[in-house]
Amino acid sequence: MKLIVAFSSALIVLIATIAIADEPVQFNIVNLRVDQTREVSNDVMVVVMQTTAQKNSSTEAARSVNEVMAWADKIISEDQRISHQTLNYQTRPVYQNKTITGWSASQQLQLRSQDIEALTTMAGSLQQKLQIVSMRFQVSPDRRAEELETLVVEALEAFHTKAELVTRTLNADDYRLVNLSIDESGGPMPYRAIARAEAMTVGAAPPSVEAGDSKIQVSVTGSIQLIF
């Protein structure tokens, strides 16, 4: 039995040694990374608005909210430049001294448009009956894809330039690409909360907005093998 165990152990060691010997040993490997970043003007505006009603019953509260949302839907539907959808409908009891004294209902409305001026004006008009909860700006999908395509080309060219620089500096004859990966990042600006006093002003003027920019970045990482 001891002889069999010893033979098995020796066989495992031999197989492992052969496997390691078969793996090519790579020398002169250099890891590189380049980043290409661009500030892109936001061309999409997203606004979230909300209506809230507090009544004696949940039915009355819901009816009040539904009336406001129907009013808003009719106004927005007249402007084809603006898309919209409803969000987060809620009803909840109102307590006083652990006793239900009424009901509150609320619903949010999200508006989106590439015509920032039109959406800003619309948000101002809707403040007659809805509150502005938040807004954000972002780059449209088509524009983002176009910018990313350009950045990928620039990043790959920068990677090649850096690889050639390393090759010349270390007096190598040439280099061979071992592996390469491309990472894309960057997204919309975060939500910016609107002051509650401004949001609740009846008939308030359109909010003052600045679309700003979003940062889009492409990173290229890879390894090269120097040839001497």
pLDDT over threshold 70, residue 145: yes
- Does 2 reside within a domain? no
Q: Residue 181: inside a domain, yes or no?
A: no
- How far is the C-alpha of 139 from the C-alpha of 217, rounded, in Å? 13
| Residue 224 is assigned to a structural domain of this protein | no
Looking at residue 132, its amino acid is I
pTM, 2 dp: 0.69
User: What's the confidence (pLDDT) of residue 25?
Assistant: 60
Residue 216 located in a structural domain: no
- Residue 169 forms part of a structural domain: no
The residue type of 135 is M
Query: Which tens digits make up the pLDDT trace of 92-109?
Result: 999 998 899 999 999 999
Please tell me the predicted confidence (pLDDT) of residue 185: 82
* Average of per-residue pLDDT across 9-35: 65
Number of independent structural domains in the chain: 1
Burial of 102: CB neighbours in 10 Å, binned 0-12, 13-18, 19+: middle
| pLDDT at residue 22, rounded to an integer | 52
Domain span at residue 112?
44-139+189-209
CATH of the domain at 109: 3.30.70.2970
How is 104-151 classified by DSSP, letter by letter?
A: EEEEEEEEEES-HHHHHHHHHHHTTT-EEEEEEEE--HHHHHHHHHHH
* Model confidence pLDDT, tens digit, residues 171-217: 999 999 999 999 988 655 444 444 343 444 444 566 667 778 899 99
Within a domain: residue 65?
A: yes
The residue among 66, 155, 48, 78 whose CA lies nearest residue 105 is 66
pLDDT at 205: 60
The answer to the question of residue 50 being in a domain is yes
Assess if residue 158 is contained within a domain.
no
CA atoms within 13 A on the CB side of 13: 6
pLDDT at position 43 over 90: yes
